[in-house]
Structure 1
Amino acid sequence: MTTAPAGDALIALYPILATLTARTRQRLEARAQFLELPAGTTVFDERQACRGFPFVISGSIRVVKAAPNGRELPLYRVTPGETCIISSACLLGQAPYNARGVTEADTTLLVVPNEDFQALLGEQAFRDFVFQLFSERIADLMQLIEEVAFRKLDQRLAALLLGKGQRLHTTHQQLADELGSVREIVSRLLKGLAEQGLVALSREQIEILDPAGLRRLAGG
């Protein structure tokens, strides 16, 4: 909203903002911060104070929960048109972040300061929008908890491979990050899948040879 193109893009992605009163829109235009962040930038981290509410215009933010041993569990991604419920929760509860957000690609954000976010919540349409997305994100997180708690890692790996096309250009470490595991375990599981004829492995590439077999494995 600091420039017209950014404002037009923001309204296109978040139509709810077009319903705000003229006074509220003017306040956002004057106070919101426009940020362009390169891939790999830490947008927020655990125990940091939340300084504002991000609207994603381009790129994406990967939100993870980190363990003391360095392992990470991916929670969700924030892409254009979506919101970060952890940021919302921190602002609503006036609490620090309990997760980490990192840009996956070059990312453009508009960050609304805390006090202005509180003012936005005073408008019924925006408040309904935030809580609707809260509901959707919580449903996604409940599904993640179910997968982590009740599905074996090989099942989750098979499901992950099926969602990325016939030929994947990725590393074992990247897959481990997606699964919240470690590279050595994922490498061992991939070797087992290759021995079963389900996939073919090469440097930073995995080819799906037997999608039906992977689907059977993913389904348990």
Structure 2
Amino acid sequence: MRHSIFDTLPESLRSEILGVFQTMHFEHGKILFRAGEPCSGLPLVLSGVVKVQMTGLSGNNIVLYRMGADEICTLSIGCLMTGEGFRAEAVVEEDTEVFMMPRDVFDRLMDQSVGFRRGIMDSYGRRLNDLMLLVEEVAFRRMDERLFCWLEARAGQGFLMITHQELATELGTAREVISRLLKELERKGKLRLARRRIEFTRQFFD
């Protein structure tokens, strides 16, 4: 497996760099890094899914973004460039394989390869735009609107397997808030709730 960021490198540099890389495997539930830890390298995801989330002063979590195959950890880019520790944690959601690029290799490639530097900054810019949209959602939309839109985007299969706590983490609020809003939607006949399951009724789509 290859990561497309290496396609930005000159052939000679690419062969040299790839020769020293090893693939690392992480199982579901593994913590790749925690808030406050120093950043020792740049994870390049080859397969699987990694969730990056932040814990607020209230104790509630919010999912900032997810990394899938051929993606780069934006938080790690920022930490490597500033020298500061992580402000969030990364949790493996699906068994994942990554290349872990050491800090010294990252610094060298940023200095020596214009293509690599542009690829990194393009990735950083796209994710930053997504995070700005998330800030807008959290700051300016009511939670009931955000919840309904989140559910609506995933209602195609007719049901979801998710706990109220997991849904609260997705939206950055308390479980009690999500439970109350879901119960209200159930009262209106739009949902049927069961343990770890949300089922959409015909009325949900009206």
Structures share fold, TM-score greater than 0.5: yes
SS in 2 for 1:10: coil
Distance in 2 separating the partners of 1:32 and 1:112: 8
Q: Which residue of 1 aligns with 2:121?
A: 131
Instruction: State the 1:67 CA deviation.
Output: 2.0
Instruction: State the 1:198 CA deviation.
Output: 1.3
Distance in 2 separating the partners of 1:19 and 1:180: 36
1:32 touches 1:113 (CA, 8 Å); kept in 2? no
- 1:106-121 superposed matches below 5 A: 106-121=95-110
Distance in 2 separating the partners of 1:124 and 1:117: 13
> Compared with structure 1, are the counterparts of its residues 93 and 33 closer, same or farther at alpha carbon in structure 2 (3 Å cutoff)?
farther
| Structure 2 residue 198 is matched with structure 1 residue 201 | no
Distance in 2 separating the partners of 1:202 and 1:45: 33
| Structure 2 residue 51 is matched with structure 1 residue 58 | no
Instruction: State the 1:112 CA deviation.
Output: 0.6
Tell me how many residue pairs correspond in the alignment.
Answer: 202
Structure 1 stretch displaced more, 110-119 or 18-27: 18-27
Seq. identity, %? 35
Structure 2 segments unaligned to the other structure (5+ residues)? none
Distance in 2 separating the partners of 1:212 and 1:51: 47
| Structure 2 residue 151 is matched with structure 1 residue 161 | yes
Instruction: Give TM-score scaled by structure 2 length.
Output: 0.92
| Structure 2 residue 84 is matched with structure 1 residue 84 | no
6, 29, 37: which is aligned to 1:48? 37
Cα deviations by residue, 1:105-128 (Å, 9 ceiling, x for unpaired): 111111010010112212111111
Q: Which residue of 2 aligns with 1:212?
A: 205
2:8 touches 2:119 (CA, 8 Å); kept in 1? no
| Structure 2 residue 15 is matched with structure 1 residue 10 | no
Instruction: State the 1:33 CA deviation.
Output: 3.7
Cα deviations by residue, 1:164-214 (Å, 9 ceiling, x for unpaired): 23211111111111111122211111000011111111222111123435x
Query: Partner letter of residue 22 of structure 1?
Result: E
Query: Partner letter of residue 190 of structure 1?
Result: L
Structure 1 segments unaligned to the other structure (5+ residues)? 1-8, 214-220
1:56 touches 1:82 (CA, 8 Å); kept in 2? yes
2:47 touches 2:70 (CA, 8 Å); kept in 1? no
82, 94, 103: which is aligned to 1:105? 94
Distance in 2 separating the partners of 1:204 and 1:36: 28
What RMSD over aligned residues (CA atoms) do the two structures have, in Å? 1.5
Instruction: State the 1:138 CA deviation.
Output: 1.1
Query: Partner letter of residue 43 of structure 1?
Result: L
2:192 touches 2:198 (CA, 8 Å); kept in 1? yes
> Compared with structure 1, are the counterparts of its residues 127 and 193 closer, same or farther at alpha carbon in structure 2 (3 Å cutoff)?
same
Distance in 1 separating the partners of 2:62 and 2:41: 24
| Structure 2 residue 161 is matched with structure 1 residue 172 | no
